[in-house]
Amino acid sequence: MKVLITGGAGYIGSELVYKLSNNKVVKEIIIYDNLHRGNYNFFIGVRKIEHPNISFIKGDILDGRKLRKVLKGVDVVYHLAANVTTPFADQNPHFFEQVNHWGTAELSNAIEQSNVSKFIYVSSVSVYGSQSELVTNETQLNPKTFYGISKMRGEEHVRRLFDKLPTYIARSGNVFGYSKGLRIDAVINKFMFDAQFDSRITIHGDGNQTRAFIEICRLVNYLDAMLSSNLPSGHFNLVDKNLSVLDVVDTMRELYPGLEMIFVNQHLKMREIQVERDPNALKLLKTKERSLFEELSEFKKMFTF
């Protein structure tokens, strides 16, 4: 099986490459990335990728002609290339629209003209917007930010392929955990970095706002399982934990007993979301679940000092 991963040098993509390199059905891996986030750490270091047939192509997701060439002979496409900041980001609307919306349109069109047999698109629960009630697969999309709107529009292009080939829209929760392409702007990752080196974290709002989270290894396990899944085309909410910011902090203080907190704009009501764990997605995994404390303890071990 030949697999293409757009955004393969990024935060999630780099971990997915490691995971797929140990999947026996994967005979070839192509990493397609424009390196706009400067993720060169993925290509160096002692952590080697033990796979006999892996390659890197520097390319842009908006380059439809190049995509069509790269897709020749590809069986499965993972689409992770995106302009990503935080799930509730509301800045640089043009860049979000170009990359997340029209870039996904270019890829979807190229796949439609190819012999690709499966398409897995990594979206975000931000397409639901801020919700006061528990979000399910049936919840109407209502994005509130430029990022969420662009991901929703990207989904519309992907959905056109539902009847043509197995196509999965994986709506991920707020991802955290170690990767060689680590994103420090994700809330838990930022907290962990600040706790490790400054013993102090900054909380926006009163900390009672709730978010849906998933640890990166757990997310990658889901994506790996989708490779051989016989699930029909559809969308899946990939989340593990609904936690308030203060819930996260309470767990972190077990790891960092002297941790200090600074509250900014404590009087403001912050956006929040809680997402039901998807029963269809849960069927894909047989791995043991870990507590937040176990996941953050593993993360802490990855700091160099």
Give, as one character, the DSSP assignment of residue 275. B
First to last CA, the chain: 40
The alpha carbon dihedral of 127, 132, 133, 134 has a sign of positive
* Residue 18 is a catalytic residue: no
Check 11, 78, 147, 178 and give the catalytic one.
Answer: 147
Count of all residues that appear for the chain in the document: 305
Helices (H) and strands (E) in the chain, counts: 10, 12
Residue 79: name the closest of 53, 51, 111, 50 by CA.
111
**Locus of tokens 């910011």:** 245
Is there a contact between 237 and 198 (Cβ–Cβ < 8 Å)? no
**Locus of tokens 């990855």:** 302
- Please list the active-site residues: 147
